[in-house]
Each structure stands twice: as structure tokens, then as C-alpha cells.
Amino acid sequence: MKAIAMSEDDDLILSDLNDEELVEQMFDDLYDGLKEEIEEGVNILLERGWAPYRILTEALVGGMTIVGKDFRDGILFVPEVLLAANAMKGGMAILKPLLAETGAPRVGKMVIGTVKGDIHDIGKNLVSMMMEGAGFEVVDLGINNAVEAYLEALEAEKPDILGMSALLTTTMPYMKTVIDTMVEQGIRDDYVVLVGGAPLNEEFGRAIGADAYCRDAAVAVETAKTFVTRRHNQMNA
């Protein structure tokens, strides 16, 4: 349902809407995967003096949260989520350089990558985007990562979180190889390890020694926030 009632023939002028209506409309536009409209909405809010971080969290992340919820509930499917993500990406592209300039808060840092033998990155990319939207710095290692690539990145980037993704049942066991190597090297407990991907489940996450399995991008963000807060509290205790 559209936030602003209108007939099929009406052209909605986004700049005519007040802030609240515009954000509501942007939720709808994200839901419908309308990239150009999202870009326009972001630019209007910037012109009205909204801080980039506020636009990101209230308009974009807020809208994607609705998309994520409906995906989880089986109302939306992968194609619709991809279109929505693509629209959000358009908005993010405008905001990203401005976020760096305006010193948006940094919640934590994550290194993320799809495991060796697996080239599927839709879920990983979605998590990266939502994590960035939530204020995390994300170092994306891309696809088909061997254990050495993960370890090098951990050493170089010193993140709070390591995220691993897999779509295939044939590749998901490789996550255990990575975690076992971290244990062997005595660095396992230096990081929060989050895993995700369509064939995984909580039991698998526990069995391989991850800190948590995240069923979707929204859960990944919430889980990451919880672990990072706990970690910071422990460090400050």
C-alpha cells in the first residue's frame, strides 16, 4: 500500500511532500525497488539540511528493515529484495562520501567474505550494505576466500567481527576450516565470528564454533551490535 494516496495517472512530486511524508514515500519506493526515486528523495532531504547519517538510518535503513521483515515472513522473495537493495545502493552511493566527511558514528568494524569454492555474494553484499547502514566499517573480501585470505585480513584490519557466507552445502563446511585455523593460531577469541547463508542454520553455526548464525541481513546487524556492545563493555570493565 502506498503511503500517499493517488490515482494511477498522478505524478507524485517528491519535493512537494513534507519530511515525514517523504520518508514514508521513500519506504514505499524502496519496497518497490525504485532506485531513481530513492536517489531523488535522498537529494531532497540533503537539500533540506538533513544530516547524511540521519537520512541513512531513518529513510534507507528504516525502509530496508520493512523489506527484510516481509522477506522473513514470506511476503517478499529474493528478486524483490534485490531490487530494493539496488535502490538503497543508489541512495548509499550519494551518502557514502558525505558520511565520511561528516564523521558519522562508527559502531565497529567487520571483515566479511564468501568462503572458498563459493562465488555467490548476494547475501554477503546485502549484509555488507546493511552493516554499513548501521554504522559499521565493512571490509569486503569478495568471493571464493581461502583461509589465508581471511587470516591476512584479520591481521591487517583488526576488525571486531569476522563474517563468513556460503550458499552451497558443499562449501559451508569450509567455515569450520577457517574457525579451526583461528583456534590453532590462538586468535579465535579475538574476534566475533558470524556466519550466514541459505543452507545454514543455528545448529550448524554452533557445531562449527561460530558465535552466531544470522538468518538474514537484519539479524546480522542486530547480532553484530549486541556482540560489539558486549565486547566493548568487557574491554572497559
Partner 1 sequence: MPDLNDQSLTIDGLAPNGRGRVLIIACGALAHEILAIKRMNGLDHLDLQCLPAILHNHPERITDAVRDAVEKHRADYDRVFVAYADCGTGGLLEMACADMGVGMIRGPHCYAFFDGVDQFESRGEVTAFFLTDFLARQFDAFVWKPLGLDKHPELLSLYFGNYDKLVYLAQIDDPELDDLARKHADRMGLAYERRFTGYGELETAIKHA
Footprint of partner 1 on this chain (CB under 8 A)? 77-80, 82-83, 86, 117-122, 143-144, 168-170, 172, 199, 204
Per the CB < 8 A criterion, the answer to whether 22 and 47 are in contact is: no
Strand ranges, E, within 83-156? 108-114, 136-140
| Shortest distance in whole angstroms from residue 124 CB to partner 1 | 11
**Which three-class secondary structure state does DSSP give residue 212?**
strand
- Compare residues 43 and 86 and give the one whose CB is closer to partner 1: 86
| Shortest distance in whole angstroms from residue 120 CB to partner 1 | 7
Identify which of 146, 145, 147, 162 has the alpha carbon closest to the alpha carbon of residue 111. Answer: 162
Q: Which residues contact 121 (CB under 8 A, 6 or more apart)?
A: 114, 142, 143, 165
Q: Give the end-to-end CA distance of the chain in Å, rounded to a whole number.
A: 48
- Compare residues 91 and 108 and give the one whose CB is closer to partner 1: 91
Identify which of 236, 203, 210 has the alpha carbon closest to the alpha carbon of residue 224. Answer: 210
- Compare residues 95 and 116 and give the one whose CB is closer to partner 1: 116
Strands of 136-140's sheet in order across: 136-140, 108-114, 161-165, 192-196, 212-213
- Name the amino acid, one letter, at 99: L
| Shortest distance in whole angstroms from residue 82 CB to partner 1 | 5
| Shortest distance in whole angstroms from residue 200 CB to partner 1 | 8
- Compare residues 100 and 207 and give the one whose CB is closer to partner 1: 207
| Shortest distance in whole angstroms from residue 169 CB to partner 1 | 4
- Compare residues 190 and 202 and give the one whose CB is closer to partner 1: 202
